Amino acid sequence: MNLLDIRNLSIELKTKTGVILAIDRVSLTMKEGEVRGLVGESGSGKSILAQAIMGVLDDRWQVHADRFHWRNIDLLSLTHQQQKDIISQDVAMIFQEPMACLDPSTTVGEQLEEAVPDHQLTGFFWQKNKQRKLAVINLLHKVGIKNHTKCYRSYPHQLTEAFCQRVMIAIALAKKPLLLIADEPTAAMETTNQGQIFRLLASLNQLKNMSILLISHDLENVTHWTNNITVMYSGQFVEAGTTEQIFNTPYHPYTQALLESSPKANIELPPKSRLTTLPGSIPVLQHLPIGCRLGPRCPRAQKICVQAPKTTNYHGHQVNCHYPLKEIY
């Protein structure tokens, strides 16, 4: 069963000078127990998309979609508050810079406690406090924090970033989510800590069958941990497929460029020569190209690319391009 089924979701940003189409018809599906990577450069709108799913965008942003289903419930037919209630029951989110995401003036324990939903506590109200504490200690153990008393009493600034991220994951786990959205959970962390966080997420995925939407700018890193990958560029859908499809046979010029720009793909390159990259940089929101937004930078662009391409599906491998690189494999 599809957990999440989004078809052609667009997000508009209302500014003083007019309306900007920040996300242009992006589709995304999540199955139960799936780990999906959502990859794109910074500014490609991946965090906005995640926030739109969580329903926490403020009223400057306008979200439209052809379909927005959560476990076969049509969210579009509900009010905003109902959407939020349903989503926040089953979907949790963790962020980059976990320390900044914890209230600096409250202890970690208190913040964990308030994340434990009331309906998980059985018993009478005088027992609830104790149960809450127990639940919190359990959560801390689940994310691999053994010294729970010390952690419980600490303030966020007394912990390291990686530790804070574990706490954030514990907070996310409190409501036993079906889907965890991890927005660059390891940005600005040391490599060993990164590995630990990813392993923790992977084990949670396997033990609890929790789906994970892993948002990252690093395509190569993500491939180690995901089953499927969706690539975005400048607010447009680029390509989606299994990790193997994306990594071994990218159909879209952008995905190919992403892979080629990584040092691993350039292993035969002589030392000190430049890595292959696309010319130019990601366009700013105020000056988006019409049609395919990769157009100005795309090596394969032709006249027709000023019209937005339609998504084509090759055995579950979806590409959004007029001239996919299908023939070369």
Q: Can you give the binding site for another protein, defined by CB under 8 A?
A: 54, 56, 88-89, 92-93, 95, 97, 100-106, 114-115, 117, 155, 157, 168, 171, 175
Shortest Å, Cβ 153 to another protein: 11
CA atoms within 13 A on the CB side of 72: 2
32 binds, among another protein, ligand SF4, none (CB under 5 to 8 A by kind): none
Interface with ligand SF4, residue 301, by CB under 6 A? yes
**Contact pattern for ligand SF4 over residues 68 through 87, marking x by CB under 6 A:** --------------------
Interface with ligand SF4, residue 240, by CB under 6 A? no
- Residue 151 neighbours by CB under 8 Å, 6+ apart: 108, 109, 140, 145, 159, 163, 167
Residue in 22, 180, 213, 305 binding ligand SF4, rule: CB under 6 A: 305
Longest CA–CA span in the chain (Å) reads 71
Task: Let me know: does 276 contact 264? Beta carbons within 8 Å.
Answer: no
Interface with ligand SF4, residue 35, by CB under 6 A? no
Shortest Å, Cβ 123 to ligand SF4: 58
Give whichever of 59 and 327 is closer to another protein, judged by the CB atom.
59
> How many binding residues for ligand SF4 (CB under 6 A)?
12
Instruction: Please name the residue that has the structure tokens 């991890």.
Output: 182
Give whichever of 267 and 328 is closer to ligand SF4, judged by the CB atom.
328
The DSSP line for 38-97 is EE--TTSSHHHHHHHHHT---TTEEEE-SEEEETTEEGGGS-HHHHHHHHHHHEEEE-SS
Interface with ligand SF4, residue 298, by CB under 6 A? yes
The interface with ligand SF4 within residues 258-297 (CB under 6 A) comprises 292, 294-295
253 binds, among ligand SF4, another protein, none (CB under 5 to 8 A by kind): ligand SF4
Interface with ligand SF4, residue 322, by CB under 6 A? yes
Give whichever of 60 and 303 is closer to ligand SF4, judged by the CB atom.
303
Residue 167, helix vs strand vs coil? helix
User: CA–CA separation, 135 vs 45, rounded Å?
Assistant: 36
Handedness of CA 101, 106, 108, 111 (dihedral sign): negative
Of residues 270, 186, 192, 271, the one with CA closest to residue 222: 186
> Where along the sequence are the contacts to ligand SF4 (CB under 6 A)?
253, 292, 294-295, 298, 300-301, 305, 309, 321-323
